[in-house]
Structure 1
Amino acid sequence: MNARADAPGRPVPRPAPLWRRVAVPAGLFAAVGGAFAYVGVVDPGEPGHYPVCPLYRLTGLYCPGCGGLRSAHAFLHGDLLAALRDNAPAVAAYVGFAVLWTVWVVRAAHGRPLRIDLGPAPLWAAGALLLVFTVVRNLPFGGWLHP
């Protein structure tokens, strides 16, 4: 029998085993870890390994993601200053992902779902920051933000 009786006539289901509760976060970690491992081994600074950003190729403008692979490569090799120089918002995203993933695993291990109840204000603020970053890095005085 898979359920124990809590009250007469009301079975209480057993919690799922730990491996089932953390399977999805573990799968995501494997995928992201594999991608990061590839970027750590194959240097994005050497031409021919990765495609060029289509926006940069067509317009000469840097998108908010330009420099993200070089930033990840530097981050994985422990060069935090180079990672920030190549793409600071990407570094913030790496750290944010790690924190969020850790919270997800801990909650899943305890049988609680991950709930992110962000209102529209933080999402609009993040979008506005990325927009400002993109505009400033493409202006003449924003050359220090070029990857």
Structure 2
Amino acid sequence: MRLRSTASAALVASCALVLPTAGPSLAYDHDRDRGTLGELHYRFTDGDGDVRRRTIEPADNDTCYRLTNTSRNRSAFWVANETESLALLYQDGSCGGEAVEALRPGERAHDLSVRSVYFKPTGHHHGHHDGHHGGRDDWHDDWQDD
């Protein structure tokens, strides 16, 4: 009888070890299948004065994203919106106050000082714009050459 209790306890303990890891794994696979809104590229100057490039891949609209590696003294000065959403750029790190720039899909902006971005849905997807920010091909060449 004691052997059966020990075996049952071992089975319960092994299930307890397996079950908690299965949940996050399934959630991760689901998120990967869902994809992202696209990519937002940005440039900032690091503490040594070198220009750095970063990309974020937002997963959701109606969400604020801090631009990684930016701070009060090191904000992003160049941004290209290659998402399917409107990107509202903010000077602070938590999308507070008024947006300093709004970029439609495919647009870019420079001479900025921003640290966060808020994505809003838009009916316009993956377009090319010939406004003052330049078209997608222009920013792509500019992004790769520097």
TM-score (norm 1): 0.28
Return the structure number with greater relative CO, CA threshold 8 A, min gap 6: 1
Structure with the largest fraction of helix: 1
TM-score (norm 2): 0.28
